[in-house]
Amino acid sequence: MMRRVLIGVAAFGLLLAACAEENPVIAPTGTGTPPATAADCAAGVTTYVNPDTLTVGTDNPAFPPYFAGGETKENPDWEFNDPNTGKGFEAAVAYEVAARMGFTSDQVDWVVAPFNQTYKPGPKHYDFAIEQISYTEKRAQAVDFSESYYDVNQALVAVKGTPITKTSGIADLKDYTLAAQIGTTNYDFIANTIQPSEEPGVYNSTADAVAAINAGQVDGLVVDLPTALFLADPFVQEVKKGVVVGQFANLSGEHFGITFEKSNPLVGCVNLALQEMKADGTLESITQVWLSEKTNVGEVPVLS
């Protein structure tokens, strides 16, 4: 009896082992001389999630100013903003990258990729994700990052007329209750650079943090500058009577990168596309249109 059980266990194990057989590794084609353009590079890649389609992931809802087109009837699953419209900073960057790699806008497919699932191990259901993910050395152990498509400064949002709006430097911020979204570099910045005497609040989403400042539970929010300008926008007023107190100098070289499954050969192609976009000024003009003109980045004082 015992032996039969053992044989059963062993057979079951072997069956599982057979199922877990390693997938054949697909080597990127065109080894030898590196491809000169993003289009050449992308044409040589065979590992797309769906053939002849560039599948792009981002979080849902997709927030302004990174996504803008509003809700659409064609894609009702996207809340607030449908990335398929191509409007908003990150949507525009993604479509431009896709174009450089030889995809028409019809060949770009958007899928929902929540932030905290972009780095789980295993295959991804998108070719790359673009959702304001800041590069850090540790994060780069879990996913591959593209080059920077936006060098991001952090900023402080508060309510007009409150004492915190009078501060002029990081040292003055120690005595206030600050909050950020969980897992963001914004939280790291509060905890490690500002080092407030009061423990910072950690919210599961930016929306929760906004609710907290509107309810007077915290004095200020630390978010990235474009988000800050959106939250305090006089016409949007996500934060009631909100103002951007200031931005913090980007000393650590923080930047957003497009993320990929580890060792996805597309990284090189997207980097080529970004380099082309930087060289001919396209990235600069996309940034101008969707971030600077819409949100007046230049006018925010720097707190140091």
Partner 1 sequence: MAYSRSDAPDSGTIVPGGPVPPGSERRSRLLEPLRQEGAKGVMVAVVSTAVFFGLIGWLVLRSPNWPEVKQLFFNGQEFRDTFPSIAQKFLRNIQYFMIGEVFILAYALFLAVLRSLPGSVFFPLRLLSIMYTDLFRGIPTILVIYLLAFGVPSLDIPGAPTSPTFWAIVGLVLSYSAYVSEVYRAGIESVHPSQIAAARALGLSRWQSLRFVVIPQAVRRVAPPLLNDFVALQKDTALVAFVVVVPEAFKMAQIHQNADFNFTPLLAAALLFLLITVPLTRVVDWMIARERARRQGGGVV
- Give me the residues that bind partner 1 (CB under 8 A), please: 2, 5-6, 9-10, 13, 16-17, 20-23, 115-116, 119-122, 136, 138-139, 141-143, 179, 182-185, 187-188, 199, 201-204, 212, 215, 217, 262
**Token couple for 11:** 């057979």
80: CB partners within 8 A, 6+ apart: 61, 62, 63, 64, 67, 70, 71
Task: Count how many Cα atoms sit within 13 Å of the Cα of residue 87 in the half-sphere of its side chain.
Answer: 12
Count, residues in the chain: 304
d(CA 139, CA 293): 31
d(CA 157, CA 213): 9
Pick the closest to residue 223 from 234, 239, 235 (CA basis).
239
Q: At its nearest, how many Å lie between partner 1 and the CB of residue 184?
A: 7
Cβ proximity to partner 1: between 29 and 116 the closer is 116
Cβ proximity to partner 1: between 55 and 134 the closer is 134
Cβ proximity to partner 1: between 198 and 284 the closer is 198
Q: At its nearest, how many Å lie between partner 1 and the CB of residue 206?
A: 13
Q: At its nearest, how many Å lie between partner 1 and the CB of residue 25?
A: 9
**Residue 116 burial (C-beta neighbours within 10 Å; 0-12, 13-18, 19+):** exposed
CA pseudo-torsion sign 41, 103, 65, 63: negative
Pick the closest to residue 134 from 282, 274, 253 (CA basis).
253
Cβ proximity to partner 1: between 9 and 249 the closer is 9
The amino acid sitting at 179 is A
Cβ proximity to partner 1: between 15 and 236 the closer is 15
Pick the closest to residue 243 from 166, 152, 180, 178 (CA basis).
166
**Residue 266 burial (C-beta neighbours within 10 Å; 0-12, 13-18, 19+):** buried
Q: At its nearest, how many Å lie between partner 1 and the CB of residue 148?
A: 18
Q: At its nearest, how many Å lie between partner 1 and the CB of residue 194?
A: 16
d(CA 97, CA 42): 11
Cβ proximity to partner 1: between 3 and 73 the closer is 3
Cβ proximity to partner 1: between 53 and 119 the closer is 119
Backbone angles phi, psi at 297, to 5 degrees: -55, -40
Q: At its nearest, how many Å lie between partner 1 and the CB of residue 15?
A: 10
Do the beta carbons of residue 156 and residue 225 sit within 8 Å?
no
Q: At its nearest, how many Å lie between partner 1 and the CB of residue 199?
A: 5
Q: At its nearest, how many Å lie between partner 1 and the CB of residue 60?
A: 18
Cβ proximity to partner 1: between 142 and 171 the closer is 142
